[in-house]
């Protein structure tokens, strides 16, 4: 499934464990955001796939709106602002994803 955010097109793919493990080199990753390819990979057949999707969409939102996730620690107010600003985007994409599952 493809979606747009901040004039960028991203794609959500449901993949098997071998693909996830190839990207992350571990056995416990449920989802991954690949910024260079503008993709979200979700492990198929997991119990909490929607929760995992929401988690990965937060990474996408932060990336697309210029919040460096590797050099900054977010304080309580930052987290509240991120949730407020990203909530509608995340819910819209999740609903679209549910329709194509």
Q: Which of 4-8, 35-39, 59-63, 67-71 has the lowest mean pLDDT?
A: 67-71
pLDDT digits (tens, 9 = 90+) for 29-59: 999 999 999 999 999 999 999 999 999 999 9
The per-residue pLDDT for 59 is 93
pLDDT beyond 70 at 69: no
User: In the chain, where are the structural domains located?
Assistant: 2-100
The per-residue pLDDT for 71 is 73
Q: How far apart are CA 16 and CA 35, in angstroms?
A: 20
Side-chain-side CA neighbours of 14 within 13 Å: the count stands at 13
Given a contact cutoff of 8 angstroms between Cβ atoms, the answer to whether 93 and 3 are in contact is yes
pLDDT beyond 80 at 14: yes
């Amino acid at each position: 499934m493809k979606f747009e955010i901040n004039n960028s097109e991203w794609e959500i793919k449901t993949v098997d464990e071998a693909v996830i493990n190839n990207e992350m080199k571990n056995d416990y990753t449920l989802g991954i955001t690949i910024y260079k390819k503008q993709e979200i990979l979700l492990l198929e057949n997991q119990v909490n796939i929607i929760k995992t999707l929401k988690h990965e969409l937060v990474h996408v939102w932060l990336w697309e709106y210029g919040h460096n996730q590797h050099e900054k620690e977010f304080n309580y107010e930052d987290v509240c602002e991120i949730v407020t600003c990203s909530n509608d985007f995340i819910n819209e994409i999740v609903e679209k994803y549910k329709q194509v599952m």
